[in-house]
Amino acid sequence: MSLSQTTITSTVVFAVATCLKLLLIPSYHSTDFEVHRNWLALTHSLPPSEWYYEETSKWTLDYPPFFAWFEWVLSWLAAVADPNIVKIDNLDYGAPSCVLFQRISVIMSDLVLLYAVIQYCKWKKFDGDLQSFVISALVLLNTGLLLVDHIHFQYNGFLYGILLLSIVKMLQQKHVQAAGLFALLLNLKHIYIYVAPAFFVYLLKHHCFSSTTSGSTRRFLHVKFIELAAVVVCIFTLSFGPFIYYGQLSQVLSRLFPFKRGLCHAYWAPNFWTLYSALDILLATIGFSPGEGGSMTSGIVGEMKLQVLPSIPPVLTLILTATATMPSLMKLWKKHNTCGLDFLHCLILCGYASFMFGWHVHEKAIMMVTMPMCLLAMEDGRLWRIFTILSTAAHISLFPLLFNTAEKLIKVFLFVPYIMMALTSSTLLKGNHLLQWELKSLDVVYTAGCVLVQIYCLFIHGVGGYLSYLEFLPLLFTSVTCALGVTWTWFLTITLYLAT
């Protein structure tokens, strides 16, 4: 089968996805829309020396410099489309031209993701159209991507494209390119630091140490290490250099790593701390003596203070994350004959650990686990099962992001086809016996549970004023049920990885 066939398949899937994204242009967009419009305005109107000081709008620049440059490039196109977009004082500008421009910029930037998928399919050398179709569909029509990027509004598509591309380069053993791409990514959005340990350990082992036949010791290859370090340092210098020159490094870093109150974001990400907070609420409701003040019974959305269980300092989250990541990193370092897929598996586990124990984690960060998992899932039937359960939990956890009435049904019907695709793909790819798996009864019970909870949250709660004073209740239910799924799949993934 010719390679160009995979390109055609992926491109067709991308075209279909684009049609859907275009149809979704008029849907609800969050304040992130204004955030990016503001960044277009300030990068266009001000010199770089003022970018990280500009405060006319409360949505100040808090991404690394390369993203600011990306906005700068876009701003010139925006100025052509509608000069009003790039006026700093034009706060909350929401004219159709602005919406159209920004939406289309997100859609176009997804081309990077398409490129990454094509490269992956070419590397895999699939012997059938169906496999490249499945991978393309899982990535390019990813529910999370559509919900977050094309409705809520963000630019995750091309960022995950760069991440997947760097993974592909790693699989192709092009270590320097992979490192360079990852460094580029870190300078676009620093949240990808979640998965940096996997890169570091794998590159150290495979690039900086000579490969061995069993028995002989490995030599540290100074030249290769310097080569790698040089590329990474170069990229960081390009990024932060100008701001170090201006003497603004501390300001930039304070913007990138702001001190945030609260263990949990206003909408709880489905991680360990959600379960911890839910337990706290349960204990408080049962009647254990409350600790510090702050009540849950007011029911309003906001920062939750723990009442019974001890409060968690930020440094503890760092320690727990590191502890959770250690076993996978050790395995990656010690295992003989590691290959690119081990790296991918470890990368996913790093993402998991950071998500589970991180401080003030956003629910959107679950995509750092689900997107790479799309590539790994096809390797093994057990991984496919994990992927399906994770996709259910992860995408349902994103539902609270879109809270308007029109999007209620849309998010459900963005989710259902994706899960059906995940469920059916492994059966369709049964040529590869590794992919055979069957739904276990626990999987069905969990999925049914999630569905029932969502039926309550979407169609019963608040209808006709039913329990509407308990605003936080559906969010609590959603977060807890999804957290159970995420935690469970994390255990499954980690045991699978450590057992090989």
Partner 1 sequence: MAEPVLVPGLELCLSIGVLSTVILVRLAVSLHPYSGEGQPPMYGDYEAQRHWMEITYNLPIHEWYENTTDNRLQYWGLDYPPLTAYHSWLCGAVASRINPSWVSLHLSRGFESYHHKLFMRYTVLAVDVLVYFTAAVVFSRLVYRNKDAMWERISLLGLLLLTPALIIIDHGHFQYNCASLGLTFWAIIAVTTDHNVTGSVLFALALNYKQMELYHAVPFFCYLLGKSVAGSGSGGEFLKRVGLLGVAVGGTFVACWFPFLGSWDQTLQVVHRLFPFARGLYEDKVANVWCSLSVLVKLRRLFSLSTLVKVTAVSTVTALVPSSWNLYETPPLSDSSWPWLTPPSSSSCSRTKSTRSRFSWHSSPAPSSPLTTLTSSPGSSYWQSSPCTLSSPRTDWFWHAAP
Q: State the residues that interact with partner 1 by CB under 8 A.
A: 20, 23-24, 26-27, 127-128, 405-406, 409-410, 413-414, 416-417, 420-421, 423-424, 427-431
Rounded to a whole number of angstroms, the minimum distance from the CB of residue 21 to partner 1 is 9
Report the residue number, 31 or 436, with the smaller CB distance to partner 1. 436
Query: How many Å apart are CA 234 and CA 221, to the nearest integer?
Result: 20
Rounded to a whole number of angstroms, the minimum distance from the CB of residue 257 to partner 1 is 38
Print the SS3 string covering 204-267: HHHHCECCCCCCCCCCECHHHHHHHHHHHHHHHHHHHHHHHHCCCHHHHHHHHCCCCCCCECCC
Report the residue number, 283 or 428, with the smaller CB distance to partner 1. 428
Query: How many Å apart are CA 334 and CA 318, to the nearest integer?
Result: 24
Report the residue number, 100 or 279, with the smaller CB distance to partner 1. 100
Rounded to a whole number of angstroms, the minimum distance from the CB of residue 171 to partner 1 is 22
Partners of 457 in beta bridges: none
Give the Cβ contact number of residue 148 at 10 Å: 25
β strands within 146-294, DSSP E:
none
Report the residue number, 96 or 294, with the smaller CB distance to partner 1. 96
> Residues 71, 76, 81, 84: is their CA dihedral positive or negative?
positive
Report the residue number, 289 or 441, with the smaller CB distance to partner 1. 441
Report the residue number, 300 or 406, with the smaller CB distance to partner 1. 406
Report the residue number, 204 or 428, with the smaller CB distance to partner 1. 428
Rounded to a whole number of angstroms, the minimum distance from the CB of residue 24 to partner 1 is 6
Report the residue number, 250 or 441, with the smaller CB distance to partner 1. 441
Query: How many Å apart are CA 380 and CA 385, to the nearest integer?
Result: 9
Rounded to a whole number of angstroms, the minimum distance from the CB of residue 429 to partner 1 is 7
Closest by CA position to 500, among listed 262, 328, 263, 363: 328
Report the residue number, 91 or 130, with the smaller CB distance to partner 1. 130
Q: Are 352 and 369 in contact (CB under 8 A)?
A: yes
**Cα three-residue angle 90-145-404, rounded to 5 degrees:** 60
Rounded to a whole number of angstroms, the minimum distance from the CB of residue 386 to partner 1 is 18
Query: How many Å apart are CA 308 and CA 292, to the nearest integer?
Result: 8
Closest by CA position to 323, among listed 274, 370, 356, 276: 356
* Side chain identity, residue 8: I
Rounded to a whole number of angstroms, the minimum distance from the CB of residue 146 to partner 1 is 10
Rounded to a whole number of angstroms, the minimum distance from the CB of residue 414 to partner 1 is 6
Query: How many Å apart are CA 173 and CA 125, to the nearest integer?
Result: 16
The three-class DSSP label of residue 209 is strand
Report the residue number, 321 or 426, with the smaller CB distance to partner 1. 426
Question: DSSP string spanning 46-98?
Answer: S-HHHHTT--SSSS---S-HHHHHHHHHHHHHHHHH-GGGG-TT-TT---HHH
Closest by CA position to 310, among listed 280, 350, 345, 271: 280
Q: Are 256 and 64 in contact (CB under 8 A)?
A: yes
Query: How many Å apart are CA 129 and CA 1, to the nearest integer?
Result: 9
Residue pointed to by tokens 């995940």: 422
Q: Are 426 and 381 in contact (CB under 8 A)?
A: yes
Rounded to a whole number of angstroms, the minimum distance from the CB of residue 90 to partner 1 is 23
Rounded to a whole number of angstroms, the minimum distance from the CB of residue 9 to partner 1 is 15
